[in-house]
Structure 1
Amino acid sequence: MSQPTPAAAEQLPARPTAELFLPTEYSPEVRARLAALDAASDEHAAGQRPDNTTRSYASDWRTWEAFCGQLQIPTTAATRGTLRAFVDYLWKHERRAYSTIDRKLAGVVVTLRRPPYGVLVDPDATRAARELLKDYRKQAQAAEEPERGRGKAPAMRLADLQRVVSLCGTDIFGVRDQAMLLLGFSIAARRAELAGLRLRNIRDDENGLLVHVAVSKTEPRTVPVPFGKNPLTCPVRAWKAWAVAAQITDPDRHAFRRIHHTGAVQPQGLSPQRAGDLITAAGLRAGYKELFTGHSVRSGLATEARRAGKDRKAISAITGHADGSKVLDGYMQIVDQWDEKDNALIGLGL
């Protein structure tokens, strides 16, 4: 290729000075500025992460450190062999549940990717470890071993919700629990999402409430919550009754608060664990033997909405599930298994 003439070269657009340097040619000053930006961005990203996720990652890392200590290997040595050995250790020696081991694998990989480690784990190594975990689970199922862990949270169906709410009581504790259950059901809340709600996230609308779920495991979402037909189970009325009784006025304060045994509402918000415990306690108070958890109101909304014939896109707008979510498919299956269109046995004439 011929070189441009001096006259033609003068007509070429000038390149920005920064583009003249390759990363290997950056000066120490530029490297320092870029490192400072990286550190600041990491700190900011960590600040956006829900507290329960941060705690889970920290727990996963402690388990990994203990495992690496036993094998006398560096914590940064996340290879195909070490990750498989980690799965074997958790499954056979600690007898952890399938979902717990899967989550701990993810926690280790994510932690290694972040400072101060900066280690990118080979996806094939992670995939190999998960394949081994699946094999162990299949072997356990074939041997008819009992499922490990507490299993999926039972869905709090509409009839369950009505019964639980009716037995919450009329004192300040009951008013709070009723509002938390009904609003949690209406926005398909995880326990951390309930605990993370601030007053500013719940806005009045002529049709009900607009609830912005800012603290979420996935993407934030805004859920329009309409007035209910039944005053006993209306989430809008229940929320307003609690807001008045608790005298919540500061927009930056938690929507749901701790209550002293004397009945005095405290300024501190509920922890995710406490929010889940209150839902469990409400179920026990209503006489249910199965333990409802913080996730029960979420799965209950998805199940009941599908039973009412709501489109999965409308349901996912409330739950925040991504398109094609396998978790949402599980909720759908509870209802669809008895639907004439989805059950090939119905209408055959058996």
Structure 2
Amino acid sequence: METEDGLLVTVYRRKLKRHDEVAVPYGSNPATCPVRATRTLLSVLAGEGRGSGPLFVRIDRHGRIAPPLTRRGQTIGDPSGRITPTAAAAVVTRAAEEAGFQGNWTGHSLRRGFATAARRADHTLERIGRHGGWADGSRALLGYMEEGDRWERNPVAGL
């Protein structure tokens, strides 16, 4: 649901086996704003006759929303066309390669990048964890955060 501040989205937390409502504010850069990108995607899906259902769906090599997959006449996968976590990871990997990014990019790179960027922006571990679906005090959350440049924001600087 779009609000004046951004989007309120429902995210299923598979490990927690529950749905959470998450606030997604407008981004500071219109070219990378998640709210604007979601609005555009919803418009495209509506133009294809999809007014409800999953947001991230399979797209065929011709750029069309792919029909449900079948094997021997039986529907396989998600009949609503939702992409799998493996397919989402492949999209991230391909996009990173096409952008010329170095390193090993996977679907979890998005979570890692979020946690690292939010911490560098001085958000608390508790707020980052709750927004990203990590349990309070999660050691896994700490493992997602990267140090970055050893000189930038060095804890010894200014002592």
The TM-score normalised by the length of structure 1 is 0.37
User: 1:290-320: per-residue Cα shift (whole Å, max 9, x none)?
Assistant: 1210000101011000001111121112111
Instruction: Find the counterpart in structure 2 of residue 222 from structure 1.
Output: 21
Which of 1, 6, 11 is residue 213 of structure 1 equivalent to? 11
**Equivalent in the alignment of 1:287:** 100
How far did residue 257 of structure 1 move?
Answer: 1.1
Cα 1:320–1:233 change in 2 (3 A) is same
Task: Answer yes or no: is the 8 Å Cα contact 1:223–1:317 preserved in 2.
Answer: no
**Is 2:67 the partner of 1:254?**
no
SS in 2 for 1:205: coil
Shift of 1:229: 2.1
Counterparts in 2 of 1:331 and 1:259: CA distance versus 1, 3 Å: closer
Query: Which of 59, 64, 84 does residue 264 from structure 1 map onto?
Result: 64
Alignment length (residue pairs)? 140
Distance in 1 between the 2:146 and 2:63 partners? 43
The alignment partner of 2:107 has SS state of coil
Residues 1:299 and 2:98 are matched in the alignment: no
Q: How does 1:68-87 map to 2 (within 5 A)?
A: none
For 2:99 and 2:146, how far apart are their aligned partners in 1? 27
| Residue 144 (structure 1) aligns with | none
Q: Cα deviation per residue 1:46-93 (whole Å; 9 max; x = unaligned)?
A: xxxxxxxxxxxxxxxxxxxxxxxxxxxxxxxxxxxxxxxxxxxxxxxx
**Sequence identity (%):** 39
Q: Is the 8 Å Cα contact of residues 112 and 145 (structure 2) preserved in structure 1?
A: no
More helix by share: 1
Structure 2 residue runs without a partner (length 5+): 68-80
Residue 72 of structure 2 is matched in structure 1 by none
Runs of 4+ aligned residues of structure 1 deviating over 6 Å after TM superposition are none
User: Equivalent residue for 1:319?
Assistant: 132
Alpha-carbon contact 1:302-1:332 (below 8 Å) kept: yes
- Aligned ranges 1:73-222 → 2 under 5 Å: 203-218=1-16, 219-222=18-21
Counterpart amino acid of residue 11 in structure 2: V
Q: CA deviation at 1:216?
A: 2.3
Q: Aligned partners of 2:56 and 2:88: how far apart in 1?
A: 9
Output the CA distance in 2 between the equivalents of 1:204 and 1:229.
17
TM-score, normalised to structure 2's length? 0.77
Of Structure 1 and Structure 2, the greater strand share is in 2
User: Which residue matches 2:33?
Assistant: 234
How far the C-alpha of 1:215 sits from its partner, in A, is 4.2
Q: Which runs of 5+ in 1 are unaligned?
A: 1-202
Hey, what does 1:96 align to over in structure 2? Answer: none
